[in-house]
Structure 1
Amino acid sequence: MTNTSEVPLNGASATHGREFESTDPAVYSEYSKKWTELPKDEDGWVARAKEVSEILAKDVVKRNAENKAPFAEVALLKHAGLLKVLGPKKYGGGEQPWSLAYRLIREVSNGDSSLGMLLGYHLLWSTTANVVGTPEQADRTQELILSNNYFIGGAVNPRDEDHKIANDGDHFVFNGFKRFNTGGVVSDLTVLEGVLEGTEHHIFAFVKTQQSGIEFQHDWHNIGLRLSESGSVKITNIRVPWVDALGWSPEKKEPIPDILTIPFATLLLPAIQLVFSNLYLGIAQGALTAAAAYTLKSTRPWPYAGNDRKTTATDEFYILERYGNFYAHVAAASALADRAGALVSSIYSTHTSDRKSLTAARRGELAEEVASVKVVTTDTGLRVTAGVFEVTGASATGERLGLDRFWRDLRTHTLHDPVAYKNRELGRWRLLGEAPEPSWYS
């Protein structure tokens, strides 16, 4: 893997003939000098993420409407050091557990859901080699990512046909098309995945993003998560050395059994599902924060309540009741998410040094813990982000306020994979004691 080349970062830029607009990283250049070192402890990391969230929240409605590729916003994440929270200290990382990383995703999502999503996907993809690569590949990849403060995208979407991989001597070659590719446009490295021709074996690899064989279509114009750059991408003749095939023997050109055929190699899936749930939680918390500020300042009491007429909105029974109910459900969902995050951290810390020690049963327990969080955060998040309008009033639907973005963002991502299947999965677990077979979504 080689360093990425410089890319156009502002104004109307072009990628392989297609015009697109992007934000200018210079907007946040002051923070490159403000944050000169990584936080020292958990409280410091959370405070840093909260500060980033508050910065992004100031103009999130405007940026959301403009829908420009978020090079500046990703630069802010880099300045803050948030991309490095999981990485080993020997290469400049924070060496923190996943449980803390999930809290940072939640905090950033509170202020800007798209950037919380990008942070979450980056943290997942940046650990790919740790899960499916050899120890040497994991170490080499971490050094590359952390020493350059790279942002990682991924063109993996499993619902599309897999990328086709051809063997070409000392290299293998990717070709294909993916309908979704979160963060790719603003990434330094991209994770590709496909199936080697003539086999059923999958290969993961990191490649530099800025090269002629990666053609972003710039077609992400959806109702929510507009700055997540989740549009489609065409992959043409991307050549990768066999030594960079994660978990493969470059000499034999075949998977290494003790790396890719054990339960540990499937941990990327529950880990990213919990990324999703913390994204949803952050969005719900952000909606409550924004709604409460509006209610306290602008919501009026109902004037036609007869003898029960109130003088302020905060005296209204139904407003107090709704806020209390929303708060309770978000707090409960947060506690459930924190419990699952602690389990993810425990499994990684216990089994990374001896990957074969993770059993299928233990992996199944983790999957069901994460599925429970997914169900609860989906239900709670949708209810809260739609329900805040009940406690803010008709004027709160104005575009300038942008209170609708929370529901739009949450509704967009909760369609990633049907939560009904998570409910069924949990039902089989509870009634029959059946853990799900590891898949791209469980």
Structure 2
Amino acid sequence: MSTDTLIAPPDAVTAAAEPATPAARLTSTEQALDVARNFAATLETDAVARDRDRILPWQDIERYSASGLWGITVPQEYGGLGASSGTLTQVIATIAATDGNFGHIPQNHFYALEVLRVGANHAQKTFFYDRVLRGERFGNALAEIGHNDYKRRTHLSREADGWFVQGRKFYCTGAIFAHWIPTLVTALENGLEVTYLVFIPRSAPGVSITDDWDGFGQRVTGSGSVAFERVRVEPEWVVPFKASFDRPTTIGPFAQIIHAALDVGIGHGALKATLPYLREHTRPWVDAGVDHASQDPLLLHQLGHVHLRLRAADALIARAARFVDAAQAEPTDASVAAASVAVAEAKALSTQASLLAGTKLFELAGTSATVGGLGLDRFWRNARTHTLHDPVRWKYHAIGNYVLNGRHPPRHGAL
């Protein structure tokens, strides 16, 4: 078992240590994919125990960020690889196939990097990209709980003695492991409400994290609640957010394609776990008239269907990635809308495929596969939990409205 420790009590969640050495600099797509495959292989041994016992994987997180994978989307002009969306989604899916938690933890880190690319000034990009390339991690504090109007209650106030953030956030994936917590805030300017993303140091006075995420899936993603009690921030840490959606940008589709990659990765992990169980343990149904489950014709039909859906989702994600890259290079109303719809198509199918793979694992493997010690339920639980991130029914609506009526999807982070 890993030497990582069990999740600490809520009052003992402390800040991540600063990186002891700079993260590796990855210089090619092939190298990034190879590093991702090697890292994923190291996660497999303890994946069941981490999920079962809710072990916060601090040492593995440190190895993950030290590998250089967390900096692959930093643009080349700032010293990074400038990885394509296709490369990023392959990295995410590869890791998520072994452990869906690890696929999810850096999602908002990459999201914040895209917000910086789109909306930050040169000095801000230079500062934050350099921190990331040295191995520092972004979490997130975006969502709020207890309201149904989607208004943000976390507020940035500009006072004579400084700028301060006050508020509470929920489901802050990766925040426990983060060095910086990008936080969605509102501020009043000339009587109007303006939205910003403020990059707040995890160790800043007034920042506290409660490890209160107790969902049945994605159990060790570091998704606690974050409270900000009059946290002082510097103007240089404040990046425009709503302004980035007032014009066509790729922030929304970029965020969503990572979710799609995570889902399909979990599905591939479920299929990978299904195959040896069918070969070694599952009995054929009596009416099949065969000696081994691997010869059961109806089982083979269903297994082929799972494989096909996952491969189709892979193809749609790869296609959507090309649309996202094109829109990043030349963001227009048309290119961003096309990217958003392509990603919505991929997200709709990856949701179906991931849930199908997790369900068919048990349907085909049989009752013995439900034994708790095997931990095979983690694939379905993780897929079911993560695919609830935003309602896929609205993906179909956006696709249909675009195809039939030529209507562009709304520009926001949830599509």
Aligned to 1:137: 124
CA contact (8 A) 1:13 1:20 kept: yes
Change (3 A) 1:299 1:12: closer
1:279 shift after superposition: 0.4
Structure 2 CA distance for aligned equivalents of residues 317 and 246 of structure 1:
57
CA contact (8 A) 1:247 1:260 kept: no
Aligned to 1:376: 349
CA contact (8 A) 1:22 1:69 kept: no
1:244 shift after superposition: 2.6
Q: 1:163 aligns with which of 154, 157, 169?
A: 154
Q: 2:360 aligns with which of 380, 383, 387?
A: 387
Change (3 A) 1:386 1:24: farther
1:298 aligns with 2:285: no
Change (3 A) 1:22 1:13: farther
1:124 shift after superposition: 1.9
CA contact (8 A) 1:121 1:275 kept: no
Change (3 A) 1:176 1:152: same
Q: Match of 1:237, as an amino acid? A: R
Aligned to 2:147: none
After superposition, give the CA deviation of every residue in 1:295-346 in whole Å (9 maximum; x if it has no partner).
12222223x32xx421111011122111111111111110000011122122
Normalised by the length of structure 1, the TM-score is 0.85
RMSD: 2.7
Q: 1:432 aligns with which of 399, 405, 414?
A: 405
**1:213-362 paired onto structure 2 within 5 Å:** 213-247=206-240, 261-264=246-249, 267-302=250-285, 304-305=286-287, 308-348=288-328, 350-351=329-330, 358-362=331-335
Q: Match of 1:327, as an amino acid? A: H
Structure 1 CA distance for aligned equivalents of residues 24 and 204 of structure 2:
32
Structure 1 CA distance for aligned equivalents of residues 220 and 16 of structure 2:
11
**SS of residue matched to 1:153:** coil
CA contact (8 A) 1:364 1:435 kept: yes
Aligned to 2:373: 400
**SS of residue matched to 1:172:** strand
Change (3 A) 1:293 1:144: same
**SS of residue matched to 1:68:** coil
Aligned to 1:201: 194
Aligned to 1:355: none
Larger RCO (CA under 8 A, 6+ residues apart): 2
CA contact (8 A) 1:181 1:229 kept: yes
CA contact (8 A) 1:219 1:232 kept: yes
Aligned to 1:116: 103
Change (3 A) 1:102 1:320: same
Structure 1 CA distance for aligned equivalents of residues 377 and 17 of structure 2:
26
Q: Match of 2:132, as an amino acid? A: I
Change (3 A) 1:426 1:89: closer
Counting matched residue pairs gives 404
Aligned to 1:180: 171
Unaligned runs of 5+ in 2: 145-149
Unaligned runs of 5+ in 1: 1-8, 249-254, 352-357
Identity of aligned residues (%): 25
Structure 2 CA distance for aligned equivalents of residues 172 and 24 of structure 1:
26
Normalised by the length of structure 2, the TM-score is 0.90
CA contact (8 A) 1:162 1:195 kept: yes
Deviates more, 1:336-345 or 1:292-301: 292-301
Aligned to 1:51: 38
CA contact (8 A) 1:153 1:190 kept: yes
Change (3 A) 1:242 1:365: same
Deviates more, 1:392-401 or 1:116-125: 116-125
1:273 shift after superposition: 0.8
Q: 2:90 aligns with which of 103, 119, 140?
A: 103
**SS of residue matched to 1:273:** helix
Aligned to 1:415: 388
